[in-house]
Amino acid sequence: MDFSGWRVLREGLRGHTGWAPLWRAATPKKHYDVLIVGGGGHGLATAYYLAKYHGLTNIAVLEKNWVGGGNVGRNTTIIRSNYLLDGNQPFYELSLRLWEGIEQELNFNAMVSQRGVLNLFHSDAQRDAFRRRGNAMRMHGTDAEWLNAKAVRQMAPFLNYDNARFPIHGGLLQRRGGTVRHDAVAWGYARAASALGVDIIERCEVQGFDVTNGQVQAVETSRGRIEADRIGVAVAGYSSEVMRHANVRLPIESHVLQAFVTEGLKPLIPGVITYGAGHFYISQSDKGGLVFGGDLDGYNSYASRGNLPVVEDVCEGGMSIMPMLGRARLLRSWGGVVDMSMDGSPIIDRTQVGGLYFNGGWCYGGFKATPASGWVFAHLLARESSHPTASAYRFDRFAAGAMIDEKGQGSTPNLH
């Protein structure tokens, strides 16, 4: 079933009776060539790219709950590629390029909106750091633009320019950054993968791996045993719990990250704005809600909800940079469990178990990586070698001392 303007018109005239479910409800087969554990954005994207570009069709995606119910439905929908380090920037740029073509690729409206991501800076040192990052981005072929305080004021006159402690000196702007309708990403990949023959099996929880002679043979699930030649795990948030079944210990802690949305307001914020002096970022959804967030709660957590001190901290950051936020009523806040890795960067690699591959450690930035994560994980699963843009995301970088630590925090997951 293709989507098009004509189709919408036709269905409008026929009382919308011709629409069908977006993907097949599959029942598990006995054996698959490739099994993806985790029906979030990354797992579904992996399955789609495997089926579309690597000639594999006997693929299943196992999801313990329902498609779109995990972090792909809990994030703040921001896409950007404004990283500093060589190991990261080409990967996130690949992701942004895939975002730019995703709607045509999937024939699905993911509402990709390149409304710009603006990082504010408030001191001389921060200006230097942001200039360096902007230059690094441009050297990798990414757009980065320098705004002085006047240009920032023109773009966002509602910010707090009179703050004596944290004056706004300017900003680093990536115009190609923006937001995407997060649920539609999961649905779009699920639909497109299903159309290529991928079985999407919901409410099917992996409870164990059958490993014989160092080679993975099958998974034990809540819907029985399923054999597979190769298994890719993409369950960020719960990576340690799933990989524990295969005796793989990870350089990851699970943490909870909270997000917030206000009541719907008229168009107000032009793009995504981040506050450089407190950890706070904000954008406006197409429905009009102001979507914002800040720091992790900071302690290991598998609870998909946070605590009040961080709510207070995030709201203080918001009031500091955008005082009129205090007039908006908060509609909802929620938490999501994320994989915090030891250097703040992801891992996409084979494991010591033959046939078992791992994709995780996305910290709080997995959503923007969805297309590239799927792209390179499909490459790894199909060809058994790392994709060039993800060649730094290996397990052995910790032992080798080749960390990709954007913030320079060291092995303290809660501070990245």
Partner 1 sequence: MRIPHPILGLRDQSEFVYLGDACLLERPDGMQADALQKMTEYAYQRDNCRGLHRELWFHEQGDRAWLVVTRNTVTHEIVKVEFANEVASHD
Stretch binding partner 1 (CB under 8 A), from 6-14, 183-191, 326-334, 408-416: 408-416
Binding mask 350-369 for partner 1 (x = CB under 8 A): --------------------
DSSP 14: T
Tell me how far CA of residue 40 lies from CA of 24, 185, 243, in angstroms: 16, 9, 17
DSSP state, residue 107: T
Cβ proximity to partner 1: between 66 and 302 the closer is 302
The SS3 of residue 120 is strand
Q: Which of 83, 108, 209, 238 binds partner 1 (CB under 8 A)?
A: 238
| Tokens coding 307 | 């605590």
Tokens of 172: 């680093």
Q: How many residues does the chain have?
A: 416
Query: Taking the complex as a whole, how short is the minimal distance between the CB of residue 65 and partner 1, in angstroms?
Result: 15
Number of residues that bind partner 1 (CB under 8 A): 25
Give the DSSP H/E element, type plus range, for residue 348: strand 347-350
Q: Angle between the 41-53 and 370-383 helix axes, to the nearest 10 degrees?
A: 50
| CA nearest neighbour of 376 among 390, 362, 363 | 390
CB of 274 to partner 1, least distance (A): 23
- Residue of 241, 263, 286, 384 interacting with partner 1 (CB under 8 A): 241
Q: Residue 315 and residue 279: Cα distance in Å, rounded?
A: 10
Q: Is 52 exposed, middle or buried (0-12, 13-18, 19+ CB in 10 A)?
A: middle
Query: For residues 74-103, which are near partner 1 according to CB under 8 A?
Result: none
Site for partner 1, residues 294 to 333, rule: CB under 8 A: 298-303, 307, 309
Q: Which helix (H) or strand (E) holds 159?
A: none
Q: Which of 63, 105, 202, 253 binds partner 1 (CB under 8 A)?
A: 253
Distance CA 366, CA 95 (A): 11
Residue 312 CA to residue 314 CA, distance in Å, equals 6
Q: Which is nearer to partner 1, 58 or 307 (CB)?
A: 307
Site map (CB under 8 A) of partner 1, residues 385-404, x = contact: -------------xx-----
Site string for partner 1, 14-43 (x = CB under 8 A): ------------------------------
**Binding region for partner 1 (CB under 8 A) out of 117-125, 134-142, 218-226, 250-258:** 250-258
Give min distance, CB of 279 to partner 1, in A.
15
183, 73 Cβ separation under 8 angstroms: yes
Which of 118, 252, 272, 381 is the binder for partner 1 (CB under 8 A)? 252
Interface with partner 1 (CB under 8 A), residue from 70, 251, 293, 371: 251
- How many alpha carbons lie under 13 Å from residue 122 in its C-beta half-sphere? 17
Q: Give the range of 115-123, 222-230, 248-256, 379-387 binding partner 1 by CB under 8 A.
A: 248-256
Q: Which residues of this protein are in contact with partner 1, per CB under 8 A?
A: 238, 240-241, 244, 249-254, 298-303, 307, 309, 342, 398-399, 411-414
